[in-house]
Structure 1
Amino acid sequence: MLDHIFLTVSNMTRSIAFYEAVLPSLHITVRHDYDGKDGPAGHPDLKGFGANGRIFFWLRQGEPSMNAVHIGFVANSEAEVKAAHSAALEAGATEIHAPGAQLHYDPHYYAAQVRDPDGYSLEFVYKSWQHAS
């Protein structure tokens, strides 16, 4: 299981605005700024996002490498997939694929995929078998 991820972005202000618009659709609502000067030598300033007492998605300023990362965010329903997809498009993302069943992966895999302003591939994923009682 992953604890956190750093995503290098070209324009911190634009990226914060984008993720502040998109992540609440997935219940990721906490924002935290980390001043790198207080950490280990050479540690960058970070802008973090999280939920449930954890900050796990961090942005740092730099030169993006859009083909280096694909991020799949958990959604708790098809409605959350649609909401995140819509929020992302409204915030400036470009669509890779609209919300829908991804039968080539699994019959219970419902997702949408976009590119953020730096070109990173983001997927909003609902796997109904994980939520079955």
Structure 2
Amino acid sequence: MIDHVYISVSDLKRSSAFYLAALQPLGWKEIGAYESDTPDVPSLFGLCDRVYGSGRAIGASIWLRERNPGETGLYLGLVADSPAEVDAAYTAALAAGGQDDGGSGPRPHFGPGYYAANVTDLDGNRLEIVNKTINPKRPS
């Protein structure tokens, strides 16, 4: 299941207004903005669907981020049911030829109970495998 997608944009303020207007009819709303002061984590603007954070179901989010010079590609967050599943997927991705883009561990700057690992695929696309304690367990 897809948890979140990052979309790299040239103008965060302009794109935030566009996405809020375009997705509002679908029930999406602003989830928040994150102003970064470190080069490893970009400034972000987030939108979420109706169920995000409700505990009723796993919701989805889109995060807009300022595009860095020369940056292309996709950033896709995928749901894991536990930190152990995050670790296993991270290890498997590296074994399959992926590159480390931020090892397994807590990401408290994104919220309590946020545990993730980041890898790049063979073409430089970025994957985040994430477990969030706000998400209910998926049915088996």
Q: In proportion to residue count, which structure has more helix?
A: 1
Q: In proportion to residue count, which structure has more strand?
A: 1
